[in-house]
């Protein structure tokens, strides 16, 4: 037999949802999520974070790439309820108007987009690549970014942008080590 507080908690939660706590772009909130909702659909439809794009909806194009606990992931393949306690960063969480993230600035400087549809996923994937710390050459950047497709073919410029940010970070680390 349910106690009064248990019955009240069930009544407050919409039927068929799971209470999930997520930190999205630095803001922690508890959401009621239907178990079949992908992270992509949660971000776009419930949280109004439309920078993350729905491309193929099958994990093949990378347009929906976001960071979960600093690691890049295709949000169309991840059920939101499996992420309880996770920190999620979307393109909206990387930079702000007037204070661009270094990758955003590099993409602009290197003209690393044409139509721009894939750009949020490309930038989030590049940040994940940087977080992984495994790319040390242009070829490694291209290989590790190969899961993000660009219909316009801006791959050379994308690699230029990512390599510039990697070089700046490597230079900053070298300067710190010398001090």
Q: Which of 66, 82, 161, 70 is nearest to 121 (CA)?
A: 66
What's 95-179's CATH class?
mainly alpha
Evaluate if residue 130 carries a pLDDT over 50. Answer: yes
- With contact defined as beta carbons under 8 Å apart, do 160 and 110 qualify? yes
> Which CATH architecture best describes the domain 1-94?
Roll (3.10)
Cβ distance 63 to 44 under 8 Å?
no
Torsion of CA 60, 101, 128, 145, to 10 degrees: 50
Which segment of 4-13, 47-56, 84-93, 95-104 scores lowest on mean pLDDT? 4-13
Residue extents of the structural domains in the chain: 1-94, 95-179
Q: Note the pLDDT of residue 7.
A: 52
Query: What's the whole-number average pLDDT of the chain?
Result: 90
* Residues in Cβ contact with 145 at an 8 Å cutoff, skipping those fewer than 6 apart: 122, 125, 126, 129, 158, 159, 162
pLDDT tens per residue across span 44-92: 999 999 999 999 999 999 999 999 999 999 999 999 999 999 999 999 9
pLDDT at residue 172, rounded to an integer = 58
Question: Is this prediction's pTM over 0.85?
Answer: yes
Residue 111 has pLDDT above 90, yes or no: yes
Taken as a whole, the chain contains a residue count of 179
């Amino acid at each position: 037999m349910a106690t009064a507080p248990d019955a009240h908690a069930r009544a407050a939660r919409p039927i068929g949802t799971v209470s999930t706590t997520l930190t999205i772009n630095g803001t922690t909130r508890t959401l009621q999520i239907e178990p079949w909702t992908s992270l992509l659909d949660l971000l776009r439809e419930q949280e109004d974070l439309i920078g993350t794009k729905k491309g193929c909806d099958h994990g093949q194009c990378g347009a929906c790439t976001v960071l979960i606990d600093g690691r890049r992931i295709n949000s169309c393949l991840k059920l939101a309820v499996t992420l309880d306690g996770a920190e999620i960063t979307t393109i909206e969480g990387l930079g702000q108007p007037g204070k661009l993230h270094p990758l955003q600035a590099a993409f602009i400087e290197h003209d690393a987009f044409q139509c721009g549809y894939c750009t949020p996923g490309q930038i989030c994937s590049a940040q994940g690549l940087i977080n992984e710390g495994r790319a040390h050459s242009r070829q490694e950047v291209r290989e590790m970014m190969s899961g993000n497709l660009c219909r316009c073919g801006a791959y050379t410029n994308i690699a230029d942008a990512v390599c510039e940010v990697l070089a700046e970070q490597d230079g900053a680390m070298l300067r710190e080590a010398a001090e």
